[in-house]
Chain A
Amino acid sequence: MPEPVRRIVGKAAPLEMDDVDTDQIIPAQFLKVLSRKGLGKYLFYRWRFDEDGRPKQGFILDQEEYRDAVILVAGRNFGIGSSRENAVWALMDFGIKCVIASSFGDIFYGNSVKNGLLCIKLDEESVKRLRGMAAKGELTLDIDVESETIKLPGGETMSFRLEPNVKKRLLEGLDEIEETLRGYEAKIREYEAKMRPFKIPSKAVMPIE
């Protein structure tokens, strides 16, 4: 069950790349896990480590001034590809609390909401600008979920939009299963009662192949 997300204040790191897919966020070899904790060390693994597992120099999140970044300013189509929720867990375990991009992979976006990782969609111009500012040096953003605003240093604010459900979910950090069962059990039963037999798998018999 995610913690509520109300306000995020912290440093932003630029990731100047479009189409960052979840294979890059966390490679498949690190999916053979039975827990969601501790995945941060595998985040962007191939960009941060060589084939023998030695750290490579230079990846943005490993640079001194971005090491404690909590916000990632990316490009277009962040999180496309595989449905692996490990991508979200890895980002969060690493310390990232918010990703700003001009668009997101659909499943990645849904997974983020469920885990309390704030994903903010801004128009391309604004994303570019923020990324540029973050690349120039220290950029601390103050993001408020309730008012849907990002405060920049110097007082300027940008606003963003969250769907009401997403916003509510983030602010309250609800146990969604509990909520569904509490609110909709009757509806579920109603459907199940009138479910036609052909929608239920029949008892398997070995076929002629």
Chain B
Amino acid sequence: MAKSVLEKIWEDHTLAKRGDEYLLYVDRHLTHEVTSPIAFEGLRARGRRVRRPDLTFALMDHNVPTSDRTLPVRDENSREQMRTLAKNAREFSITVFDYFSPWQGIVHVVGPELGLTVPGITIVCGDSHTSTHGALGALAFGIGTSEGEHVFATQTVWMRRPKQMEVRMEGRFKSHTSAKDAILYVIRELGTGGMIGHAAEFRGEAVKNMSVEERMTICNMAIEGGARTAIVEPDDKVYSYLEGAPYAPSGEDWTEARKYWETLKTDDGARFDKSYKLDVSRLEPQITWGTNPAMCIGVSETVPEPRQFGDSSQRRIVERALEYMGLSPGQRIEGTPIDVVFIGSCTNARLSDLVMVARLVKGRRVAQGVRAMIVPGSMLVKRRAERMGLHRVFIEAGFEWRNSGCSMCIAMNEDRLGPGERGVLTSNRNFENRAGPGSRVHLASPLTAAASALEGKIADPRRYSLAGLDELGLEWVSPWIERNILKPLGGG
């Protein structure tokens, strides 16, 4: 029978079935400082151990400061949560990438770049955007704290089998548009509940042509459409991304793994419960205007007018969002003055995102009065960017060049918007107060965010030429960077 890649991995990991729940073995459990303490507490209270410390990895990302790491951590609660994780990791013999580790970073950036994430495995993490890892052909689920405790103790998770949805992306991206614009558009069309109960499999020519990092962007944000997880079948690009990574298989194991990974394709005729198709060639840069990611328009469009909506509850929702965001019905979104630009988060702060930003801002200046910050997705991303010399492009343009963490995406550290402040962020959630109480967040691609930083207003990136890779004066380019970052961008 024809099977999808999800079905193949699911079956490979099913230990038992109970009603409509499946007991799945968990190959990789990633955990961070915020959702783990109570799970560890539960283990301790009942004298339980972590069953497989060798499959469990902890790191600090959600509330770490992104300032100079030689300075003390001022927020007492953050410090306490970090210390608690370090202590728990020691007590339960788990590897931890702590605040000072050269491999510290956002969990969904770190997993793939260290080769903890590989095709064909199951991954869970106490974080909703765990779907990101699906971009490498893994089956990845965000779980709650109680479930996390269950995984610690049993290395398994009870899971209802999601329905399957095919999201086909065809065509070629026009210049200045990217994966972020595509996924924002999909959510705009389907709504925040459009994929509830489903696992999204992204397929089609445009997905094939995407780099692994772009695939991570779409898998990451599928969650905002309500999806339970997301996946892309693995291919040569994924293998290239992983080859040589510190925790990836090597030697004979690598050959073995490759053989197995080749079998993880969605067969012709595999059945999907739902499908959606998008031609990416007709996309313009997208940006959100409201308080959920589906409230989104093209950058040249105008924000909706409540009276367009027949349904009174819809109308109220739109009115409320416009009021919160401080926008008037029917106004053009482009040109709206902003205070902050944030390039960061597990959606768009990987090396290829930073290269794109550098191509746009090279030789240009951030507008007066705008705070523009770049928070690399991991310290490894940061080091790689610095070896290439990208940080000089950013600093010369007037960006802050910070250390890694979730930062303004969730505002658990000091990086936040003040009440009423407006920012263009490359992250994935624009909920009320998400980036700080009263914050007004517009989600967009790195290029749209970069162009907005230059103008001090929401801007259309298409008005800016992009410097060629050769014009960036790249200094130190490793074979990995050449293969996985520059080549997909048309260089190297």
Interface on A for B, CB 8 Å cutoff? 16, 18-19, 21, 23-24, 27-29, 31-36, 46, 51, 75-77, 80-85, 88, 103, 105-107, 110-111, 114-115, 163-165, 176-177, 180-181, 183-184, 187-188, 190-192, 195-202, 204-209
Contact B158 A202 (CB under 8 A): no
A205 to chain B, nearest CB (A): 6
Contact A83 B144 (CB under 8 A): yes
Contact B247 A201 (CB under 8 A): yes
A-B contacts, 8 of them at CB < 8 A, read: A31-B35, A77-B226, A82-B429, A83-B144, A114-B147, A165-B21, A188-B25, A202-B247
Contact B257 A80 (CB under 8 A): no
A23 to chain B, nearest CB (A): 4
A62 to chain B, nearest CB (A): 18
Contacts of B13-40 to chain A: CB distance below 8 A: 13, 15-16, 18-21, 23, 25, 27-28, 34-35, 37-38
Contact A23 B432 (CB under 8 A): yes
A85-B145, A103-B193 given; A165·B432 CB < 8 A: no
Q: Which residues of B contact A80 (CB under 8 A)?
A: 192-193, 226
Contact A24 B27 (CB under 8 A): no
Contact A177 B153 (CB under 8 A): yes
- Contact stretch, chosen from B77-85, B392-400, B447-455: B77-85
Interface residue? B249 (CB, 8 A) = yes
B63 to chain A, nearest CB (A): 6
Interface centre among A84, A88, A177, A183 (most CB of B within 10 A): A177
Interface residue? B121 (CB, 8 A) = yes
Contact A27 B433 (CB under 8 A): yes
Q: Which residues of B contact A200 (CB under 8 A)?
A: 27, 54-55
Residues of B in contact, count (CB < 8 Å): 92
Interface centre among B46, B149, B383, B434 (most CB of A within 10 A): B434
A103 CA / B196 CA spacing, docked (Å): 9
B42 to chain A, nearest CB (A): 8
Q: Which residues of B contact A88 (CB under 8 A)?
A: 144
Interface residue? B250 (CB, 8 A) = yes
Interface centre among A35, A176, A191 (most CB of B within 10 A): A191
Contact A32 B77 (CB under 8 A): yes
A180-B23, A208-B479, A209-B480 given; A187·B15 CB < 8 A: yes
| CB-based closest 5 A-B pairs | A32-B77, A198-B257, A111-B144, A114-B146, A204-B246
Closest B residue, CB atoms, query A185: B154
Contact A206 B246 (CB under 8 A): yes
Contact B23 A34 (CB under 8 A): no
B306 to chain A, nearest CB (A): 15
B380 to chain A, nearest CB (A): 6
Interface residue? B304 (CB, 8 A) = no
Contact A81 B429 (CB under 8 A): yes
Closest B residue, CB atoms, query A114: B146
Contacts of B153-193 to chain A: CB distance below 8 A: 153-156, 158, 160, 192-193
Interface residue? B234 (CB, 8 A) = no
Interface residue? B332 (CB, 8 A) = no
Q: Which residues of A contact B197 (CB under 8 A)?
A: 106
A84 CA / B348 CA spacing, docked (Å): 22
Contact B192 A204 (CB under 8 A): no
A106 CA / B16 CA spacing, docked (Å): 21
Q: Which residues of B contact A36 (CB under 8 A)?
A: 38
Interface residue? B462 (CB, 8 A) = no
A31-B34, A180-B154 given; A188·B193 CB < 8 A: no
B362 to chain A, nearest CB (A): 23
Contact B149 A177 (CB under 8 A): yes
Q: Which residues of B contact A46 (CB under 8 A)?
A: 432-433, 437
A127 CA / B437 CA spacing, docked (Å): 31
A87 to chain B, nearest CB (A): 9
Q: Which of B37, B147, B228, B480 contacts A34 (CB 8 A)?
A: B37
Q: Which of A35, A82, A196, A205 contacts B128 (CB 8 A)?
A: A82
Contact A197 B256 (CB under 8 A): yes
A72 to chain B, nearest CB (A): 17
A74 CA / B78 CA spacing, docked (Å): 33
A107 CA / B478 CA spacing, docked (Å): 40
Q: Which of B20, B247, B438 contacts A204 (CB 8 A)?
A: B247
Q: Which residues of A contact B257 (CB under 8 A)?
A: 198
Contact A107 B128 (CB under 8 A): yes
Known: A114-B144, A163-B160, A177-B46. 18 other contacts (CB 8 A): A23-B434, A31-B62, A32-B78, A51-B419, A77-B192, A88-B144, A106-B197, A107-B128, A110-B144, A177-B153, A180-B156, A181-B153, A188-B155, A200-B55, A201-B247, A206-B246, A208-B244, A209-B387
Q: Which residues of B contact A206 (CB under 8 A)?
A: 246
Contact A196 B260 (CB under 8 A): yes
Q: Which residues of A contact B38 (CB under 8 A)?
A: 34-36, 85
B104 to chain A, nearest CB (A): 14
Contact B480 A163 (CB under 8 A): no
A29 CA / B158 CA spacing, docked (Å): 30
A29 CA / B412 CA spacing, docked (Å): 6
Interface residue? B423 (CB, 8 A) = no
Q: Which residues of B contact A83 (CB under 8 A)?
A: 35, 126-128, 142-144
Closest A residue, CB atoms, query B33: A32
Contact A196 B256 (CB under 8 A): yes
Contact B192 A209 (CB under 8 A): no
Interface residue? B48 (CB, 8 A) = yes
Q: Which residues of B contact A187 (CB under 8 A)?
A: 15-16, 23
Contact B146 A115 (CB under 8 A): yes
B122 to chain A, nearest CB (A): 9
Contact B380 A209 (CB under 8 A): yes
Contact B383 A209 (CB under 8 A): yes
Taken residue by residue from 322 to 351, chain B's Cβ proximity to chain A (1 for < 8 Å, 0 otherwise) reads as 000000000000000000000000000000
Contact A34 B81 (CB under 8 A): yes
Interface residue? B239 (CB, 8 A) = no
Contact A24 B432 (CB under 8 A): yes
Contact B80 A32 (CB under 8 A): yes
A123 CA / B144 CA spacing, docked (Å): 26
Interface residue? B431 (CB, 8 A) = yes
Interface centre among A35, A165, A183 (most CB of B within 10 A): A165
Interface residue? B2 (CB, 8 A) = no
Q: Which residues of B contact A21 (CB under 8 A)?
A: 292, 429, 431
Q: Which of A32, A163, A190 contacts B81 (CB 8 A)?
A: A32
Interface residue? B114 (CB, 8 A) = yes
